[in-house]
Each structure stands twice: as C-alpha cells, then as structure tokens.
Copies of this chain bind each other. A is one copy, B any other.
Amino acid sequence: MLILSSPSGAGKTTISRELLASDENLWMSVSVTTRPKRPSEIAGEDYRFVQKGEFDAMVKNGELLEHARVFDHHYGTPRAPVESSLRDGRDVLFDIDWQGAQQLTEAMGDDVVKVFILPPSTAELERRLTTRAQDSAEVVASRMAKAAGEMTHWAEYDYIVINHDISDAVGEVSAILCAERLRRDRYIDLSRFVGTLTEG
C-alpha cells in the first residue's frame, strides 16, 4: 500500500497516472467525496461522488478505511476494493492527504509506505497552481495557503520526493515501489525458497 501525498500543484496526479500506466501490479484506490464534480473530472475514476447522506451511511457501516473533512467537504477511502486488491496480490496506490495518511497507517500498520511529494520552490508551486486556467485567483491563494499547511506534515512520511522534473519524480517513486517490494519482510515464503537453495 503506497500513499502519495502532496500539496495541490506538486505533481502528484501526473505521477500517479504514469505509475499506474507503467505498473500492471498496481491499482489505484478511488476516494469517495461529497464535494461537487469539477468539469475536468470523471466520476468513478477521479472520485466517486456521493451525497452527504450516503457518505454518512458508509461511515456508520464501517465501509471506509479512513475519512476526513477538508474545508466544507468530506472525503473517504472505501474499504472493500482495497481489501480485494490486496487479496489478489496487487499493490494499492492512494492519493490522499496527511489526515487520510495518518488514519490509514493506524488502520493498516506496517504495510503502508508513505511518500510525500514536494514542489522545488514556492515560486514554482504558485506558477503551477496559476496555470490551471479553471481556478480563480482566490482559489489559487487558498490553495497556496492549504499547500503550506499540508507541507508542515512532511515529517510523518517515509520518503520525500522533490519534484524538480516530472519524469525524474516518476522514476523516483517507481524506485521506491520497486525497493519496497524487495524488502525481506514483504516476501511471502522466502524462508521456504532459501530452504530449497541450501538443502539442494
């Protein structure tokens, strides 16, 4: 389970998309949210969009691995698809914020790897947020403030990737994923395999 967090504009969405395209064994968790769909978003792909009543019912029935309120909206991670992917031996990618990352770590323990993506500079972050034509100046300003708040949580993450260049950053997150799969304690049946080598 790989969590990617970052302030808006640091490149997390592009990195996630490229990772998923290049790695067959990776599946992305789709969050559920009560916020309205943006024009550029695809329902069921970027988010599952639900009404507040449905969201509350999911919380009540324990159907969410984690959930949090950000500004006026609620966000959560549905439990069933994550558990089914892990059962199939696939790794799961989460694009969630620090609150979600904290709750998911509490729920799932050591199986969670947390990566924080940082922009190379404040100027570059502002430039990236401003070039999204669909957002107003007020939205950009509020995102810059939110980004600063989000970034104060960097120390809760296992790995830090500074996104100077998007393809380098994709390569670095891929390397983290590859390396984590090679950790001794993530192998299944390694002891039996080494047994076949040493007794042969």
Q: Which residues of A come within 8 Å of B, CB atoms?
A: 116, 118-119, 121-123, 125, 147-149, 151-152, 154-155, 157-162, 171-172, 174-176, 178-180, 182-184, 187, 190-191, 193-194, 196-200
Contact = CB atoms under 8 A, between A and B. Distances in A.
Nearest to A150: B198
List the 6 closest pairs (A to B, CB-CB), nearest first.
Answer: A122-B200, A179-B179, A175-B178, A175-B175, A148-B198, A176-B179
Contacts of A118: 193-194, 197
Tell me if A's interface is mostly helix, strand, loop or mixed.
Answer: helix
B176 A182 contact: yes
Contacts of A116: 184
Contacts of A200: 121-123, 148
A194 B198 CA distance: 49
Contacts of A152: 194, 198
Given A160-B182, A182-B159, A184-B157, A122 B176 contact: no
B179 A125 contact: no
Contacts of A154: 184, 190, 194
A178 B183 contact: no
Name which of A118, A125, A180, A200 has the most chain B CB atoms within 10 A of its CB: A200
23 contacts: A118-B193, A118-B197, A119-B197, A122-B200, A125-B197, A151-B198, A152-B198, A154-B184, A154-B190, A155-B191, A159-B183, A160-B182, A160-B183, A160-B184, A162-B193, A172-B178, A172-B179, A172-B182, A174-B175, A175-B175, A175-B176, A175-B182, A176-B179
Given A175-B174, A175-B178, A179-B176, A197 B121 contact: yes
